[in-house]
Amino acid sequence: MLRPPCSTRRTALAACALLLSASFPASELQAQTGTKALVGGTLIDGFGAPPLRNSVIVIEGARIVDVGQVGAVAIPADAEVISTEGMSVLPGLWDMHVHLMIAGHTDYTHWDSVYPPLFESVIMPAAARQLLSAGVTSARDLGAPLEASIAVRDAIERGEIPGPTLYVSGPFIQHEPYPGTELFRWGVSGANDARAKVRRLAEAGVDVIKLIDQDQMTMEEVQAVVDEAHRHGLPVVAHSHRPEEIRRGLLAGVDNFEHTGLATAPEYPADVIEMIRARTAQMNLGPLYWTPTIEVLFNYEYIRDSWRELLDAPCWKEGLPDHVIEDIRTSLEHFDQLPYFQITPNRRPTLKRKFEQLREAGVVMLIGTDSGIPGTFHCQSTWNELDIWVNRLGVDPVEAIRSATYWPSLMMGVADEVGTISPGKYADIIAVRGDVTRYISLLQDVDLVIKRGVRYK
Ligand SMILES: [Zn+2]
């Protein structure tokens, strides 16, 4: 049995925070309440407008109070001036599909049997910290035990542990949990049970409902999940691996689909695309969102052939005890033989076509990664997704950044608070040396991370 360095829940989180915040000293974070001015950098504000040179952003406490160009914006006399000369300055990134409870280990059966006692106290806080260091100031966690999801989200919100602002689903809702996964997968049996399970999640305070394998449920069950979620003001996110998952999800009114599925099929069937077009034509329903989580499908062979070198980067170890690091490292031996990625090389040639079909059908694409799945790490996934969009799928860099900032905040209903750099919003801001509109992969090593006015990096 493992001995968690940060043991049982709740009381342990604060103690754990001390352990985890070596690079984020609490005294320093608390001292940062004054006025700051970020001066000189090129601002990409998240709305999609052309970058603004020689920008000034004035922050008071947790909020942005003024944005403009040098000379046009008054810098308060008492402001701490942070030079962003030569840097790209942009809203903190969102990752709309992370899994804090996993950390790149390749054996789910082993992970799910050994590590649940460490999820809340060690694994999820470490993942959160790694995301924040990578410039991810908001993240949507799609599938983890309920109490742990809420506890970690709230501990971050209270400033007890460092991490992105989290939006959590708690357990997946599906037809039947796979054996050994009942902690974070809830099966539903009939429409009444579906409503009851969603109500339990809503009353516990989740931010979103995650639906999967909806093609194995009855249509009444799927509809009950979506209706009950919407009744509580919660959006529904659903898998789209199979055509029938998409059809049922669309019929029921799912708000956001995840993944670019359909295995090795060359494209989405015509009737599915027709249904998507019919949905996106209904302006009153708002955008239909899609999180393709595509980077690992493009990067699989690179990870397979270079994982030893990739593991030399220290960021994925942050906050994890040595025995967990060693376990993950060992699990990556024979990455080439993992059934999980068996058909990935065959899927890749189909991805560009599927991505384009979705965009042509009018969906709004969101940056999300599935970070934590085998061979992927929370500190590396988000920039890789942006890189693939821009360099392999031909998305304009400013548009890709918009899909990692403005659109996610709108999707989660918080665009008035966060997601763009404009007066009144929370100061969630990152900066990196160089021009990200020219070299998006510069985002792999951000120089400055500010979340709610507090500088973490
Ligand atoms: Zn996932």
Residue whose C-alpha is closest to residue 432's, from 396, 391, 401 = 401
97 CA → ligand 1 middle, Å:
6
If you measure from the C-alpha of residue 57 to the centroid of ligand 1, how many angstroms do you get, rounded to a whole number? 35
Q: Which of 187, 188, 256 is nearest to 220 (CA)?
A: 188
Distance CA 454, CA 175 (A): 43
Ligand 1 centroid to 209 CA: how many Å?
A: 13
C-alpha of residue 98 to centroid of ligand 1, in Å:
7
Residue with tokens 């082993």: 110
How much is the pTM? 0.93
400 Cα to the center of ligand 1, angstroms: 20
Token readout for 196 is: 């009851």
Q: Distance from the CA of 293 to the center of ligand 1, in angstroms?
A: 8
Are 254 and 211 a contacting pair, CB within 8 Å?
yes
Residue 54 and residue 259: Cα distance in Å, rounded?
38
In the reported structure, the alpha carbon of residue 366 is separated from the centroid of ligand 1 by a whole-number distance in angstroms of 14
| 229 Cα to the center of ligand 1, angstroms | 19
Residue-level pLDDT, tens digit, the chain, 457 residues: 333 333 333 334 444 443 344 455 554 554 567 899 999 999 999 999 999 999 999 999 999 999 999 999 999 999 999 999 999 999 999 999 999 999 999 999 999 999 999 999 999 999 999 999 999 999 999 999 999 999 999 999 999 999 999 999 999 999 999 898 999 999 999 999 999 999 999 999 999 999 999 999 999 999 999 999 999 999 999 999 999 999 999 999 999 999 998 888 999 999 999 999 999 999 899 999 999 999 999 999 999 999 999 999 999 999 999 999 999 999 999 899 998 888 888 999 999 999 999 999 999 999 999 999 999 999 999 999 999 999 999 999 999 999 999 999 999 999 999 999 999 999 999 999 999 999 999 999 999 999 999 999 8
CA–centroid distance, residue 368 to ligand 1 (Å): 9
182 Cβ contact list (under 8 Å, min separation 6): none
* CA geometry: angle 423, 424, 428, nearest 5 deg: 85
Q: How far is the CA of 237 from the centre of ligand 1 (A)?
A: 11
